[in-house]
Amino acid sequence: MKIDLSGRIALVTGSTAGIGEATAKALAEAGADVVVNGRSAERVAETAKRLGVRGIAADVGTAEGVAALVEQLPDVDVLVNNAGIFAAQPVFEIPDDEWLRFYQVNVLSGVRLTRHYAPRMTGRGWGRVIFVSSESGIQTPGEMVHYGMTKTAQLALSRGMAQEVAGTGVTVNSVLPGPTLTEGVREFVASLYPDPDLDFAEAERKFMAEDRPTSLLGRLIRPEEVANLIAYVASDQASATTGGALRVDGGVLTSIIP
């Protein structure tokens, strides 16, 4: 199967590192005209140059940032809502402004962008909207409940929006990565095992065994492994896949279906 996205414009939010950057690279390799995005103009420019794609710096966690982005990029064929934040914090110590910050970045960014782009996709009879959720949307992590809450919200959003565009040639789906070796996760895992004599490979094994013991993969997922699924969902070959929550979690979830 050859995925060909030639002639398609794809926007990947939060794509200067990790899953977002790997996704931008995969979509570009499939022939899409890719636009990377992030808050830092310098990092966006560096990533765009490295991947040979376009870049738009904008903070999609704000209404003003989304407005600035869509003004520069009025239409896309593939929207990957990947921008997101996470942090560990005891649930009863999370203040209101932190709950709201997580909701603005992880949820409302995708709401605002999809609200703009999806109706335009339906007018053209083709489009793909993909929310990068998480297995945490199904199995709430005790150390970051506010993050899990936003990932569950994304699942409801993608299903509801898929129903709204039913029969138009536009699909809306979520993908559910498990623990993935991004820059942020590397720092998080390293912080759990601060022993200077412990190399990261051993810290990774300890983290998976102690914190994610249900993983069938037994290691952190690599960003390109998640990107491979996203590239498929963005393709013509995935035309019958919509309203779904698609797992790329390494078997962390023990349920048969999400």
Name the residue ranges covered by the structural domains of the chain: 9-180+222-241, 181-220
Q: How many whole angstroms separate alpha carbon 253 and alpha carbon 138?
A: 8
pLDDT of residue 43: 98
Residue 197 has pLDDT above 90, yes or no: no
Tokens of residue 5, six digits:
């996205």
The answer to whether residue 147 is catalytic is yes
Q: pLDDT band for position 15 (50/70/90)?
A: very high
pLDDT of residue 159: 98
Tokens of residue 209, six digits:
């065994």
Nearest to 56 by CA among 75, 74, 69: 69
Q: Which of 103, 147, 193, 232 is catalytic?
A: 147
Q: How many whole angstroms separate alpha carbon 231 and alpha carbon 102?
A: 26
Q: Please list the residues that pair with 10 across neighbouring strands.
A: 34, 78
Residue 226 has pLDDT above 90, yes or no: yes
Residue-wise pLDDT tens digits, 26-80 = 999 999 999 999 999 999 999 999 999 999 999 999 999 999 999 999 999 999 9
Residue 196 has pLDDT above 90, yes or no: no
Q: How many whole angstroms separate alpha carbon 83 and alpha carbon 113?
A: 11
CATH fold label, 9-180+222-241 = Rossmann fold (3.40.50)
Residue-wise pLDDT tens digits, 105-151 = 999 999 999 999 999 999 999 999 999 999 999 999 999 999 999 99
Residue-wise pLDDT tens digits, 154-172 = 999 999 999 999 999 999 9
Helix axis angle for 41-51 and 18-29, nearest 10°, is: 30
pLDDT of residue 136: 96
pLDDT of residue 208: 95
